[in-house]
Amino acid sequence: MTIEDKFMNHQIIKKLKAFLAISLLLAPLEYATAMTFSVEMMKGEPVIIGDGQIVPGDADRLRAVLTPRNKHSAGYFPLLLSSPGGNVKSAFELSRLMDKYPINTYVIPGARCVSACAAIVFIAGKEHIAVPGSRLGFHGCFNVDTKDINTICNDAIANHAFAHGTAYGSVMAFIQDIPYSEVIWLDGRDADCWAINRYQISPKPNGYEKCVFDAINGVVKK
């Protein structure tokens, strides 16, 4: 870890302490249980399915399945996410655990990863990819009592993205000034275009970062 990484992590921890009472919107409502982590075989390889609401204790539940037998033959743990989000503190606990393991995160066709799932847990994967047919849902942090947007929390989440290989602005653009009652939806192609996805072992698709490039260069879609 470089000096810059240590400084960034220190700043994030300081900011996190300021909003432990802050939460992200729990949407959509069809999820009602804590996140479960089950292991299935796909094409002869083990995959971990993370499904449900993010709540305290999820880091311990994930740790329990991070065993050698559940590792992909390429040397990483594939974590497939489907979650409405949940508790921010618990999402960051998952991220800190994930930093200790070679975990790649994916959102597969038909699945949705929303709120703290998208902005924190998904981003924490060494490689994190929402594929075409999947959806990521973003919105800003808010105070659970006043429903006011919490800019310190948003800044910490964007810094967390930067520390995990995704541009600060790519995440901040979808959480800044977005009220608790709204969700900004991105599909897999949007996630590529805005560089929300991070490719490490998989090849980058055509058009990767195009939306970022267009925004920087003032290109307006017609």
Task: Give residue 172's pLDDT.
Answer: 93
Please check the confidence at residue 12 and state whether its pLDDT lies above 90.
no
**Domain boundaries defined on the chain:** 3-216
What are the start-end ranges of the H helices in 27-180? 58-65, 88-98, 116, 151-163, 168-172
C-alpha–C-alpha distance, residues 131 and 128, integer Å: 10
- Which DSSP category does 202 fall into? S
Q: Strand locations in 12-143, DSSP E? A: 22-23, 36-42, 45-51, 77-82, 103-107, 112-114, 128-130, 135-138, 142-143
36 CB-near residues (< 8 Å, 6+ apart): 49, 50, 51, 52, 61
Q: Would the pTM count as exceeding 0.75?
A: yes
Task: Give residue 197's pLDDT.
Answer: 97
Crossing angle of helices 151-163 and 3-16, rounded to 10°: 150
203 CB-near residues (< 8 Å, 6+ apart): none
Q: Give tens-digit pLDDT for 85-110.
A: 988 899 999 999 999 999 999 999 99
Q: Is 146 helix (H, G, I), strand (E, B) or coil?
A: coil
Q: Tell me the percentage of the chain whose pLDDT exceeds 90.
A: 68
215 CB-near residues (< 8 Å, 6+ apart): none
C-alpha–C-alpha distance, residues 162 and 76, integer Å: 21
Maximum average pLDDT range among 8-17, 22-31, 170-179: 170-179
Please provide the CATH number assigned to the domain covering 3-216.
3.90.226.10
Please check the confidence at residue 179 and state whether its pLDDT lies above 60.
yes
Tell me the two tokens of residue 181: 């009652």
Please check the confidence at residue 43 and state whether its pLDDT lies above 70.
yes
15 vs 169, higher pLDDT? 169
Please check the confidence at residue 188 and state whether its pLDDT lies above 80.
yes
